[in-house]
């Protein structure tokens, strides 16, 4: 008691010593031993909060558990319930110290046991404590079962109370809090409405002289703000403001919560300003923020946040008034927020970023060049900060780079380097693949902007590096998780095995599509732990001699490119358009400057003409393909182009809007005859490293495909019939049988998701003749429609097919991506490449059912010709690409190059 009254540590130390001595003097079978154990536990817990020695905290909990374990049959249930309740609270606090989730689980178990043993007259109080513990558990784990149980428990506790019961306000408050938390998870209006109802009742039954009335009003106000934000109802916001003002009036002038209440009131006014746009509303927000700061100067950790909020309000005012004084206030308030933040505080990157934004706003009004340079410096500080909100630091790095480009190109390059370095954290392996795609959509043009600036600065190799590091991020992560570790095993077998185990676990945890649901809390925590361990493992491997570059994306991997043909990366940015040409053995890419594209043509023949003139023709001319076929300029940039009767190979790696356009078919048609199809056999690759990896892992197949899985669905439940698939499958099966190729056919009820997955593992080639679907919101939910549903891309890529040769996707939209993810190649064709297929035939848009059988038949006929053995069985995609080229050329010969003919043969593409 003396310690609680004075706070003097000697009193507490004396209490600990006395409690220990009392326990020592108590016999094991003494009924009082239970109380002695618990008293010592409580005393040690109090000492922990004074000196923060974790030994005291751990010993305190151990003693409480021992006390409860010592309870006998004669111990009063009410006493045991009280002890369990106290233990539950102690365990909850211990989690805050250790972060160990087992403390939360034990805490809940203790509170549930306490409820089961509590006497009826005290049951509402124990239910209230259980509710508090469940809310805490929900906030930490996100498990919806916890919030559902919390709501159920508080409803029961309220139902047990009678009007006039002193504990009723507390139970009503707990009920409102539980439902407010549930709303934060569910976003359902009924939950926040019920929360407001409970909060209002708690206010109504709280005595006017109670010190808790201000807190009740504040909670009611916050709930009203939430509903107003959801519904747009201004009356709710007005009522919230009245409740906050009443709460402030109940607090004495020097109360520590007064500044907090004024800041919260200011935020309500600012939200109302977003609704009514009235200047007087914003002015009132500013007055409240200034009062919060005035009442808190020198005695509140909230000051940096409140200064920053004041800066935001002045910036909003400036956007209305365009008065220089307002933007000056925004700048000075944010500078003050930065000034009083502790060093290395997590909010520093955010404040630096905001200050940069406000300086840019001021420069647009005053035209001060120094403000632009100052803004650039603040963006730079935000980006280079070692920790903090990653998305903000990426955005800051991008703004730093974009601004500096106009006056300091080297600084601009540093900014882009920092932005791309941060991508790995922004799109981390602890996230599901779909969540990573959501984040990637926010930085879709970052690598293209960086590459454009690098080319402008004559850093072509760096441009290529940045395009490789900043594009196809999810596929690159997947490839890194499948890296062979045979050489590592020779050096450190245990480390190699752990690399394999963690990579497989991460691939499984990340392949789920959809938003991360809070109900998957255990798996989410596991994913975070795995991602941290993976980072540590990669670091450990790179410390081994000879493994310094383990999993790093470098241009040195370009030596693994195909031995024949050219890889062309085309970068499209609003500032410029460039192509980078690569060949095996070259030390660096060759830069080809291209004209900016600005065509708005919509007819296919016009699109193909524009692509030919602005992109494809300049590229083919520069790399000597036109010369080798007898046309084009005499002097070419390359000296190693060999003349041949066969078109040469080219791999396209387009970026931005070009990712959705048929570069392989670019040309002059409708009377004019000059097109890419006649000069090159085209393939596409998501990025250069994907192709290089395929070349490193190529296998010898003996010339012909060994086993083919044929899947068809002429009558898929819920979809229009595809009668042409029957003729297509019959024809191609005849060709395969005639060539002695082993194959199996799954159709109708036999073609289920499970049977296809199992067969994909057994067969190295697959032919899908069915409906397909590209999901723009959930790319990994894209897939093929089978008898019992959709075989999704997420399920296919879980399998790492070691000897997969090719996949023929005779379905619509199989290489159609998402325009928000143009740099990610989130389509079925790229997914099949990621799953291990070295060649994939796909379509850029819906194909005509009646022509699909002809293309498939001609493809397989060409593929199994004996003369194909001239390729020596090297499975580098040439055979499937050339067979598709022959098949499509046959269709083109029959249909011609009319608009209708082009729409029929152009969509066929080869990946790999």
Could you tell me the pLDDT band of residue 509, with boundaries at 50, 70 and 90?
Answer: low
In a domain, residue 539? The reply is yes
Give the whole-angstrom CA distance, residue 798 versus residue 140.
30
| Mean pLDDT of all residues belonging to the chain | 83
Q: How many domains is the chain partitioned into structurally?
A: 3
Looking at residue 640, its pLDDT comes to 46
Q: What percent of the chain has pLDDT over 90?
A: 45
Paired residues of 684 in beta bridges = 652, 911
Single residue among 249, 280, 297 that ends a domain in this structure = 297
pLDDT tens per residue, range 450-466 = 999 999 999 999 999 88
* Predicted structure pTM score: 0.72
Where does the pLDDT of residue 538 fall: very low under 50, low under 70, confident under 90, or very high at 90 and above?
confident
Asked if residues 607 and 596 have their Cβ atoms less than 8 Å apart, the reply is: no
Give the strand pairing for 707-712 and 674-675.
unpaired
| Cα–Cα distance list, 226 to 169, 183, 196, 230, 646 (Å) | 22, 10, 10, 6, 68
446 within a domain of the structure (yes/no): no
Among 169-173, 487-491, 549-553, top mean pLDDT goes to 169-173
Domain assignment present for residue 561? The answer is: no
Angle between helices 521-542 and 123-141 (to 10 degrees): 40
**Smallest Cα–Cα separation from 382: which of 356, 421, 413, 358?**
356
pLDDT the model gives residue 353: 98
**pLDDT value of position 421:** 86
Angle at 88 between CA 82 and CA 89, to 5 degrees: 95
What is the reported pLDDT for 874? 37
Q: Is residue 16 within 8 Å of residue 43, measured between CB atoms?
A: yes
Most confident range (mean pLDDT) of 127-141, 307-321, 502-516, 545-559 is 307-321
| 1-20 average pLDDT score | 61
pLDDT class of 103 with cuts at 50, 70, 90: confident
Q: Are 776 and 810 in contact (CB under 8 A)?
A: no
Listed range (753-762, 775-784, 895-904) with the worst mean pLDDT: 775-784
The answer as to whether 907 is a domain residue is yes
Q: Are 360 and 375 in contact (CB under 8 A)?
A: yes
Report which secondary-structure segment, H or E, holds 477.
helix 473-481
Domain-embedded: residue 9: no
Query: Is 685 a residue whose pLDDT tops 80?
Result: yes
Q: Does some domain include residue 100? A: no
Question: In this structure, are residues 863 and 805 in contact, taking their beta carbons and an 8 Å threshold?
Answer: no
**Res 557 pLDDT > 90:** no
On the question of pLDDT at 600 being above 50, the answer is yes
Q: What is the pLDDT of residues 355-397, one digit of tens each?
A: 999 999 999 999 999 999 999 999 999 999 988 888 899 999 9
Most confident segment among 219-223, 775-779, 852-856, 892-896: 219-223
Give the confidence band of 327 by pLDDT, cuts at 50, 70, 90.
very high
Answer with the one of 247, 273, 297 that is the final residue of a domain. 297
DSSP characters over 493-532 = HHHHHHHHHHHHHHHHHH---SPPPGGGHHHHHHHHHHHH
Whether residue 48 lies inside any domain: the answer is no
- Local structure of 769: helix, strand or coil: strand
What pLDDT sits at residue 486? 66
| Segment 49-86, tens digit of pLDDT | 555 556 667 777 887 787 777 776 667 788 888 888 88
Give the pLDDT band (50/70/90) at residue 869: very low
Partners of 809 in the β-ladder:
768
Instruction: Indicate the DSSP class of residue 704.
Output: S
What integer pLDDT is reported at residue 397 of this predicted model?
96
pLDDT over threshold 70, residue 556: no
Mean predicted confidence (pLDDT) in 279-299: 90
Q: Are 44 and 59 in contact (CB under 8 A)?
A: yes
- Does 532 score more than 80 pLDDT? no
Q: Which range marks the domain in which residue 281 is found?
A: 211-297
Which pLDDT score, from 0 to 100, does residue 639 have? Answer: 41
- Report the range out of 5-19, 571-585, 786-800 with the highest average pLDDT: 571-585
Q: What is the CATH number of the domain that holds 854?
A: 3.40.50.1460
Burial 616-646, CB ≥16 within 10 A → b, else e:
bbbbbbbbbbbbbbeebeeebebeebeeeee
Which residue bears the tokens 């379905």? 811
Query: Bigger pLDDT: 703 or 569?
Result: 569
Does residue 30 sit within a domain? Answer: no
Please say if the pLDDT value at position 185 is more than 90: no
Among the candidates 502, 536, 555, a domain finishes at 555
508 — pLDDT class (breaks 50, 70, 90)? low
Q: In the prediction, which pLDDT does 80 show?
A: 84
């Amino acid at each position: 008691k003396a310690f609680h009254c004075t706070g003097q540590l000697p009193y507490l130390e004396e209490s600990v010593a006395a409690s220990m001595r009392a326990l020592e003097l108590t016999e094991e079978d003494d009924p009082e031993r239970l109380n002695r154990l618990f008293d010592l536990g409580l005393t040690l817990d109090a000492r922990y909060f004074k000196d923060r020695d974790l030994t005291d905290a751990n010993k305190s909990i151990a003693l409480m558990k021992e006390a409860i374990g010592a309870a006998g049959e004669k111990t009063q249930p009410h006493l045991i319930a009280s002890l369990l309740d106290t233990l539950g609270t102690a365990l909850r606090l211990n989690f805050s110290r250790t972060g160990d989730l087992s403390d939360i689980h034990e805490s809940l178990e203790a509170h549930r046991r306490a409820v089961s043993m509590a006497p009826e007259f005290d049951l509402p109080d124990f239910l209230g404590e259980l509710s508090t513990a469940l809310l805490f558990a929900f906030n930490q784990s996100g498990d919806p079962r916890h919030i559902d149980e919390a709501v159920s428990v508080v409803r029961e506790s309220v139902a047990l109370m009678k009007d006039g019961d002193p504990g009723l306000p507390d139970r009503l408050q707990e009920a409102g809090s539980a439902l407010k938390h549930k709303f934060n998870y569910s976003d359902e209006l009924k939950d926040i409405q019920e929360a407001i109802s409970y909060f209002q009742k708690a206010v109504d039954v709280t005595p006017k002289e109670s010190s808790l009335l201000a807190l009740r009003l504040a909670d009611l106000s916050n709930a009203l703000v939430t509903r107003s934000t959801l519904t747009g109802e201004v009356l709710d916001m007005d009522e919230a403001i009245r409740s906050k003002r009443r709460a402030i009036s109940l607090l004495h002038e020097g109360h520590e919560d007064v500044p907090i209440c004024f800041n919260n009131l200011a935020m309500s006014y600012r939200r109302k300003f977003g609704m009514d746009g009235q200047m007087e509303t914003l002015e009132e927000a500013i007055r409240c923020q200034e009062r919060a700061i005035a009442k808190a100067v020198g005695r509140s950790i909230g000051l940096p946040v409140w200064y920053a909020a004041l800066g935001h309000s002045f910036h909003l005012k400036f956007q209305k008034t365009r008065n220089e004084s307002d933007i000056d206030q925004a700048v000075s308030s944010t500078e003050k927020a930065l000034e009083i933040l502790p060093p290395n505080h997590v909010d520093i990157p955010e404040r630096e970023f905001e200050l940069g934004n406000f300086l840019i706003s001021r420069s647009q009004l005053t035209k001060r060049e120094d403000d632009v340079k100052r803004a650039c410096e603040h963006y730079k500080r935000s980006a280079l900060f070692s920790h903090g909100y990653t998305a903000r630091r990426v955005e800051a790095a991008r703004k730093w780079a974009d601004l500096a480009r106009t006056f300091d190109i080297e600084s601009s390059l540093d900014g882009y380097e920092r932005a791309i370095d941060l991508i790995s954290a922004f799109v981390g392996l602890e996230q599901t693949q779909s969540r990573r795609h959501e984040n990637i959509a926010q930085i879709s043009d970052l690598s293209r902007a960086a590459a454009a600036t690098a080319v402008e600065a004559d850093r072509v190799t760096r441009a290529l590096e940045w395009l490789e590091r900043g594009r196809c991020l999810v596929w690159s992560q997947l490839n890194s998780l499948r890296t062979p570790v045979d050489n590592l095993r020779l050096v450190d077998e245990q480390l190699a095995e752990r690399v394999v185990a963690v990579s497989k676990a991460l691939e499984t945890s990340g392949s789920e599509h959809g938003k991360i649901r809070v109900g998957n809390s255990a798996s989410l925590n596991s994913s975070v732990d795995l991602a941290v361990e993976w980072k540590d493992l990669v670091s450990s491997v790179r410390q081994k001699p000879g493994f310094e570059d383990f999993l790093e994306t470098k241009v040195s991997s370009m030596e693994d490119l195909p031995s024949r043909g050219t890889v062309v990366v085309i970068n499209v940015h609003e500032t410029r358009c460039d192509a980078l040409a690569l060949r095996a053995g070259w030390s660096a890419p060759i830069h080809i400057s291209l004209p900016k594209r600005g065509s708005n043509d919509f007819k296919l023949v016009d699109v193909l003409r524009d692509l030919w003139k602005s992109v494809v023709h300049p590229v083919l001319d520069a790399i000597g393909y036109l010369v080798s076929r007898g046309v084009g300029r005499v002097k070419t940039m390359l000296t190693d182009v060999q003349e041949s009767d066969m078109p040469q190979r080219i791999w396209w790696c387009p970026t931005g809007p070009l990712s959705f356009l048929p570069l392989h078919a670019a040309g002059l048609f409708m009377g004019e005859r000059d097109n890419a199809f006649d000069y090159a056999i085209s393939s596409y690759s998501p990025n250069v490293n994907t192709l290089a990896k395929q070349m490193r892992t190529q296998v010898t197949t003996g010339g012909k495909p060994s086993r083919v899985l044929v899947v068809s669905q002429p009558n898929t439940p819920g979809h229009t019939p595809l009668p042409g698939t029957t003729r297509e499958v019959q024809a191609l099966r005849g060709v395969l049988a005639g060539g002695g190729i082993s194959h199996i056919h799954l159709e109708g009820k036999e073609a289920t998701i499970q049977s296809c997955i199992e067969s994909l593992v057994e067969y190295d080639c697959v032919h899908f003749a069915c409906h397909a679907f590209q999901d723009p919101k959930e790319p990994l939910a894209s897939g093929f429609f089978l008898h019992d549903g959709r075989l999704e891309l997420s399920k296919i890529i879980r399998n790492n097919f070691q000897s997969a040769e090719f996949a023929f996707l005779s379905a619509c939209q199989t290489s159609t991506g998402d325009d928000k993810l143009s740099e990610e190649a989130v389509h079925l064709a790229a997914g099949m490449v990621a799953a291990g297929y070295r060649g994939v035939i796909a379509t850029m848009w819906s194909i005509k059912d009646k022509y699909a059988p002809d293309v498939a038949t001609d493809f397989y006929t060409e593929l199994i010709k004996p003369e194909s053995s001239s390729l020596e069985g090297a499975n580098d995609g040439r055979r499937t690409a050339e067979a598709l080229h022959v098949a499509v050329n046959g269709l083109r010969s029959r249909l011609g190059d009319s608009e209708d003919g082009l729409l029929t043969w152009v969509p066929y593409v080869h990946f790999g």
